[in-house]
């Protein structure tokens, strides 16, 4: 009989598994507690369960774990983890300390099919989707490694397009908020703009924050740098955002990767103000993080500041995302690329 990976099961499935094994329901609560709050990597670690019970369970079930292949620490405190999966693929997670926050940036796919031209992950194409357990295990594994510290915020901004792996990402989000009890306000999902999925996510009422990678102010530029724009152009993305059920205090984040001479002009800044008019939004300006052999450049600091000033003057909430961990290849996909 093939053994069941308890980490691959939803909360309901763990409950059914325990029931089918003829065990009382509090056992499923114990198992969930050990996996998601005590970060147990094996049944043997679950010392609350008798040795006999652990041995019985071990005949039918096991707990999968990501394999840590590399861990790099930047002088600014950013840490990068390269994990191996059961089939030998690799993914990255990045831990970013910022004042009282400890944010983990996690991956949702091995590679990505969206093909954004500036993105290293996009260049490799899509290998496969991550399972819910592989998504949430990035949070579990890092939490285990950094004890007694604990991740406070989660962003789905690592490798992959989360909304292209919708069901698995939603299941991972449900476990984060329902089993690990992380507030959905502390979770942000970033998407290149798969319009029907944005609407679907809104309807699910998961209450996680949404970030949209806008990255351009005209369809002609966005068509080139983000091919998904040919299917879902800027207007379709923004119209969908306007219709989302938002609570009063929530804002949608618009990420804007600044590429020198491509999307960094003052005219772009002014168009951006007009595009987002009336939307509850904030803008994250991300100066392009270059990697070897890339054809794009990071704009000069002065161009970034000027761009920011135009937005700020128009009373748009805008921050420039600090470039963290540049010395440890922290841009999406860089450590994985080096490891090959
Ligand atoms: N696929 C999702 C989430 C992962 S990408 C999305 O595109 O939103 C997360 C963010 O990193 C996106 O805003 C993307 O535009 C940005 N990004 C990708 N490569 C980058 C680079 N080399 N420098 C700066 N930002 C980059
Ligand atoms: Fe995929 Fe996001 Fe990279 Fe685009 S920016 S290729 S959507 S990971």
* Confidence at residue 316, expressed as pLDDT on a 0 to 100 scale: 92
Q: What is the pLDDT of residue 331?
A: 57
CATH topology of domain 67-328: TIM Barrel (3.20.20)
Residue of 119, 255, 329 best suited for mutating to test ligand 1, as the one with most atoms within 8 Å of CB? 119
158 close to 105: Cβ distance less than 8 angstroms: yes
Give whole-number Cα distances, 213 to 101, 149, 161, 295, in Å.
23, 30, 11, 20
The CATH number of the domain covering residues in 4-62: 1.10.150.530
Contact 265/306 with Cβ under 8 angstroms? no
* The predicted structure's pLDDT at residue 340: 46
pLDDT at 245: 84
Tell me what the mean pLDDT of segment 97-123 comes to: 94
Catalytic residue (one of 92, 134, 161, 255): 92
pLDDT tops 60 at residue 337: no
Helix (H) or strand (E) holding 209: strand 209-213
Find out whether 294 and 42 touch, Cβ atoms under 8 Å.
no
Distance from the CA of 211 to the center of ligand 2, in angstroms? 13
Mean pLDDT of 209-222: 97
Separation CA 94–CA 73 (nearest Å): 10
**CB 92 near ligand 2, within 6 Å:** no
Residue 117 has pLDDT above 70, yes or no: yes
Global pTM reads 0.95
Average of per-residue pLDDT values in the chain: 93
What percent of the chain clears pLDDT 90, i.e. is strictly above it?
A: 87
Pocket test for ligand 1, best of 286, 324, 329, 335 (most atoms within 8 A of CB): 286
| 56: annotated active-site residue | no
Spacing of C-alpha 57 from chain mean position = 33
Cα–Cα distance, 223 to 234 (Å, whole number): 10
- Are the C-beta atoms of 191 and 213 separated by less than 8 Å? yes
Please, where in the chain does CATH 3.20.20.70 lie? 67-328
In this structure, of 39-48, 149-158, 237-246, the range with the lowest mean pLDDT score is 237-246
With contact defined as beta carbons under 8 Å apart, do 57 and 40 qualify?
no
Angle, CA 150 vertex, CA 328 and CA 140 arms, to 5°: 80
Mean pLDDT of 186-201: 97
Q: Is the separation of the CB atoms in 134 and 156 below 8 Å?
A: no
Q: pLDDT band for position 336 (50/70/90)?
A: low
Where in the chain are all domains bearing CATH 1.10.150.530?
A: 4-62
The Å distance, Cα 337 to ligand 2 centre, comes to: 15
Look up residue 7 and give its DSSP letter. G
Give the pLDDT score at 161.
Answer: 98
Q: Output the pLDDT for position 274.
A: 97
Q: Which residue has the tokens 């476990």?
A: 175
Range with the poorest average pLDDT among 59-73, 241-255, 259-273: 241-255
Query: What separation, in Å, do the N-terminal and C-terminal C-alpha atoms of the chain show?
Result: 35
Length of the chain: 340
Q: pLDDT band at residue 292, thresholds of 50, 70 and 90?
A: confident
3-state secondary structure of 44: helix
CB neighbourhood size of 181 (10 A): 9
Tokens of 254: 């618009």
The first and second tokens of residue 171, run together, are 């299941």
Q: Whose CA is nearest to atom 8 of ligand 2?
A: 160
> What is the CA angle 103-109-113, rounded to 5?
125
Is the pLDDT at 293 greater than 90? The verdict is no
CA distance 153 to 75: 21
């Amino acid at each position: 009989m093939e053994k069941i990976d308890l980490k691959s099961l939803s909360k309901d499935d763990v409950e059914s598994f325990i029931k089918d094994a003829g065990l009382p329901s509090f056992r499923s609560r114990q198992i969930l507690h050990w996996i998601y709050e005590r970060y147990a990597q094996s049944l043997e670690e679950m010392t609350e369960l008798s040795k006999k019970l652990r041995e019985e369970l071990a005949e039918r079930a096991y707990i999968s774990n990501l394999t840590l292949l590399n861990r790099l620490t930047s002088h600014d405190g950013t840490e990068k983890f390269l994990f191996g999966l059961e089939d030998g693929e690799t993914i990255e997670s990045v831990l970013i300390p910022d004042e009282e926050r400890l944010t983990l940036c996690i991956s949702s796919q091995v590679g990505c099919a969206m093909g954004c031209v500036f993105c290293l992950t996009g260049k490799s194409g899509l290998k496969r989707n991550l399972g819910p357990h592989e998504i949430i295990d990035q949070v579990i594994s890092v939490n285990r490694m950094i004890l007694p510290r604990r991740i406070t915020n989660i962003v789905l901004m690592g490798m992959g397009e989360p909304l292209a792996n919708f069901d698995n990402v939603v299941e991972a989000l449900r476990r984060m908020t329902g089993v690990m009890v992380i507030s959905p306000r502390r979770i942000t999902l970033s998407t290149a703009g798969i319009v029907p999925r944005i609407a679907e996510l809104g309807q699910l009422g998961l209450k996680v924050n949404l970030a949209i990678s806008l990255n351009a102010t005209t369809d002609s530029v966005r068509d080139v740098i983000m091919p998904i724009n040919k299917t879902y152009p800027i207007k379709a993305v923004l119209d969908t955002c306007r219709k989302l059920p938002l609570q009063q205090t929530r804002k949608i984040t618009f990420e804007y990767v600044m590429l020198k001479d491509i999307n960094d002009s003052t005219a772009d800044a002014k168009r951006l103000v007009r595009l987002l008019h009336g939307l509850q939004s904030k803008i994250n300006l991300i100066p392009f993080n270059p990697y070897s052999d890339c054809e794009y450049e990071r704009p000069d600091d002065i161009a970034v500041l000027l761009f920011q000033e135009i937005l700020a003057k128009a009373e748009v909430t805008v921050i420039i995302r600090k470039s963290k961990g540049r010395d440890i290849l922290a841009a999406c996909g860089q450590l994985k690329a080096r490891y090959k």
